[in-house]
Amino acid sequence: MKTDPDPASTPERRRRRLRLALLMVLIAFAAFMALSLIPRLFGAEA
């Protein structure tokens, strides 16, 4: 596998890495939104 140069393996690997990075950014954004919204909701209730 190491000696066999696959032209279709590198773009798929890059696409997979890009998808993973996008997912991580999305999760981070969701966590930030939750952290910023939770205190506001608690402040409105309390």
pLDDT at position 11 is 85
Model confidence pTM above 0.85 = no
In our burial notation (b when 16+ CB lie closer than 10 A, e otherwise), range 22-44 reads eeeeeeeeeeeeeeeeeeeeeee
pLDDT (tens, 9 = 90+) of the chain, 46 residues, equals 566 666 667 888 899 999 999 999 999 999 999 998 988 878 876 5
pLDDT at position 43 is 80
Question: What dihedral do alpha carbons 28, 32, 38, 43 form, nearest 10°?
Answer: 170
